Amino acid sequence: MDLEAKRNKEIEIIELMIKIYCKKNDDINEEELINYCTNKIQKCPMMETKTFCSQCPVHCYQKDMREKIKKVMRYSGPRLIFHHPILCIKHYLLEAK
Ligand code: SF4
């Protein structure tokens, strides 16, 4: 997968995970978090070598945003398989590498 495809795929996954979270929870501003994460992924200096942000040694997220995305990941990670099984399998394969 080329770099831009990888970047776009990651944006697609993060957006989906935030939407899954926000469908059932109202403590996070969906649009704000999607924009924030998309912006970070678009500027990510680790894109070539990284798997996912949770594995990153840089951690460019602000503390409060990091807390929000961690909450989203914990909630939506296990639920992703019902919404998008293929993306989910790829996500876990990448994380496992
Ligand atoms: S946390 Fe790391 S991998 Fe994630 S966007 Fe920031 S620099 Fe890139």
Q: Which residue has the tokens 């909450």?
A: 71
Higher pLDDT, 96 or 32: 32
User: Given a cut of 80, is residue 82 above it in pLDDT?
Assistant: no
C-alpha of residue 44 to centroid of ligand 1, in Å:
5
pLDDT at 87: 64
Lowest mean pLDDT, pick from 17-21, 68-72, 78-82 = 78-82
Residue 54 identity: S
Please identify, by atom number, the ligand 1 atom nearest to the C-alpha of residue 57.
Answer: 2
Residue 23 CB less than 6 A away from ligand 1: no
Higher pLDDT, 21 or 92: 21
Is residue 42 within 8 Å of residue 97, measured between CB atoms? no
Residue 61 CB less than 6 A away from ligand 1: yes
User: What is the pLDDT averaged over residues 47-52?
Assistant: 75
pLDDT at 59: 84
Residue 60 CB less than 6 A away from ligand 1: yes
User: What is the pLDDT averaged over residues 32-55?
Assistant: 87
